[in-house]
Structure 1
Amino acid sequence: MASSWDNRVAFVVRYLYDIDCNGYLDAHDFHCLALRSCVLEGKGECSKARLQKYQHIMLSLWEEIAQLADFDKDGIVTVDEFKQAVMNCCVGRRYEDFPQAMRAFIESNFRLIDLNNDGILALEEYRYDCVQRIVVEDIKIIDEAYYSLLNDDDRRRGGITLTRYQELFAQFLGDQSDDCPAKHLFGPLEL
């Protein structure tokens, strides 16, 4: 099932962290993620200060992931190793209980999606984020996925705040049910 916990965690590896698409995580992915994040946040511009900020965030994340998930200490983290680490560190936990570097990544990811920097992830920003990662032939599918995430407060505010995004991210990784309320955080997932 596309919204299964296994598929959601594999999605995180494949579409958020494994930037070189080789099927596993290593330090190279996080060096590249730092540059990518710097360029995206700068909308093409890449300042030395911003790059250093993202290098710190991403390399700290890699070190944390390697410590928690590289069980055989070979310098790479497979999808299965990552799933086990998420099981150990995230399942059944609140966002505040997630590892520090993962929280820093989640916060920086929100800032990259919030294109107009208003603190709200609106439908258009969600669409933009989704189509960068997944293949969709009808915008209606993305819109339905977005609206499925919203609660009454989100609707009143006009979208998803950072705090709500953090809560949804924690559900996405920490809730093992197939009908997880946050199953569409990154769009309608495929198998």
Structure 2
Amino acid sequence: MASSWDNRVAFVVRYLYDIDCNGYLDAHDFHCLALRSCVLEGKGECSKARLQKYQHIMLSLWEEIAQMADFDKDGIVTVDEFKQAVMNCCVGRRYEDFPQAMKAFIESNFRMIDLNSDGILALEEYRYDCVQRIVLEDIKIIDEAYYSLLNVS
């Protein structure tokens, strides 16, 4: 049950998008995500050009998410609203058919995790990313999650 679809989508909202940890998504999260992405991809360096690129990506993503998921038009997207939007727009579709801003977000997050830029997420890179996002006391949890993603026992 821990790896159910609902839990996976809730994890994405909580640990990837809801950067200010207030329990919902809004434009503020995506402004902060732009800066975070710029600094992480630049390994501490944040050029004006890269920041502008990420601001465009993240604000476009927010606008797209808000359009797809802010069903009550209150300026925030709850976990339940986000789950419904993902179900409506992504489930059962090929990656190529995802909304453009969502693909850009996925690709930029991959680049931030791929520390050596080789196009492969190694165990060490996965560990590094995980400990930045969540508090854990046993590395085995991270390693087991990594290997389960690879379908390796």
The secondary structure found in structure 1 opposite 2:115 is coil
> CA-to-partner distance for each residue in 1:119-160, whole Å, 9 max, x for gaps?
111110011111112232221221122122226xxxxxxxxx
> How far apart, in 1, do the equivalents of 2:19 and 2:145 lie?
24
> How far apart, in 2, do the equivalents of 1:109 and 1:43 lie?
13
> CA-to-partner distance for each residue in 1:85-134, whole Å, 9 max, x for gaps?
01101112221121110000000000000011111111100111111122
Indicate the structure whose relative CO is greater, using CA pairs within 8 Å and at least 6 residues apart.
Answer: 1
Would you say 1:46 and 2:38 are equivalent positions? no
Consecutive unaligned residues in structure 1, runs of 5 or more: 152-190
> How far apart, in 2, do the equivalents of 1:23 and 1:144 lie?
27
Deviation at 1:42, TM superposition (A): 1.2
How many pairs are equivalent?
Answer: 152
> How far apart, in 1, do the equivalents of 2:93 and 2:133 lie?
27
Deviation at 1:71, TM superposition (A): 0.8
The secondary structure found in structure 2 opposite 1:30 is helix
The secondary structure found in structure 2 opposite 1:64 is helix
> CA-to-partner distance for each residue in 1:53-109, whole Å, 9 max, x for gaps?
100110010010001001111111111111110110111222112111000000000
The secondary structure found in structure 2 opposite 1:77 is coil
> How far apart, in 2, do the equivalents of 1:145 and 1:77 lie?
28
The secondary structure found in structure 1 opposite 2:131 is helix
> How far apart, in 2, do the equivalents of 1:115 and 1:93 lie?
29
Consecutive unaligned residues in structure 2, runs of 5 or more: none
> How far apart, in 2, do the equivalents of 1:100 and 1:108 lie?
12
Which stretch of structure 1 is more off in the superposition, 63-72 or 140-149?
A: 140-149
Root mean square deviation, CA, Å: 2.1
Deviation at 1:2, TM superposition (A): 1.4
> How far apart, in 2, do the equivalents of 1:13 and 1:93 lie?
20
> How far apart, in 2, do the equivalents of 1:94 and 1:81 lie?
22
> How far apart, in 2, do the equivalents of 1:112 and 1:91 lie?
25
More strand by share: 1
Which stretch of structure 1 is more off in the superposition, 93-102 or 7-16?
A: 93-102
* TM-score, structure 2 normalization: 0.94
